Amino acid sequence: YIERAEQTTTTSFLYNLAINGMYTQPLTDQLFSAECRVIKALADKGQCVIVGRCADYVLREQYSTFDVFVHSTDDFRCGRICEHDNISKDEALSIIRQKDKARRRHYKYYTERNWGESLNYDLCINTATCGIDEAAEIIAKLAGQIKTSHSAADAFKNSKNRLSMVTF
């Protein structure tokens, strides 16, 4: 349920009023608030990797983060989905379009930023170019270098550095 509801937004005032009453947040907003609390609680416990959930935005003010956007070509994504789910390329492309649209809408609604815009991330990496395993190695290497570099050492002393990752 969370996966389905998470990236939907209901902006109709009448719908929200009818479903939630006069003083209650829409269910999707309640879910996002709960996710924010969980993300911050995990970040408070120590270094962690958080995939999606607008974590780059949620942690932006309190924590030093290394934000990564992992993307790929439609062909590469379709190939993976077709193989994993045993569906046609057209079906896979339709799923990609629907999910990307929902992700863009969700990210924009809660962050007022554009999902996938490179200015929002420290690193954007295309897995069609380098492959998934190589991308993971690059991310891990860069995160490790940032953690141990003198310029970033002070930022990591308080153990509040996090890696937030947004994936396609």
- Domain of 126, CATH number, reads 3.40.50.300
Q: What per-residue confidence (pLDDT) applies to 146?
A: 77
Tell me phi and psi for residue 52, to 5 degrees.
Answer: 75, -150
Rounded Cα distance between 66 and 121, Å, is 8
Q: Give the pLDDT confidence score for residue 152 in this predicted structure.
A: 44
Structure tokens at 29: 């907003």
Low-confidence ranges of the chain (pLDDT < 70): 1-23, 147-168
Please give the model's pTM, rounded to 2 decimal places. 0.76
pLDDT at 104: 97
Which residue range is the domain that position 41 belongs to?
2-167
Q: Yes or no: say if 3 and 101 are a contact pair by the CB < 8 Å rule.
A: no
| DSSP states along 66-115 | EEEEEE--HHHHHHHHHHHHT--HHHHHHHHHHHHHHHHHHHHHHHSS-T
Residues 1 and 53: their CA atoms lie apart, in Å, by: 15
Query: Which pLDDT score is estimated for 92?
Result: 97
Count the domains in the chain. Answer: 1
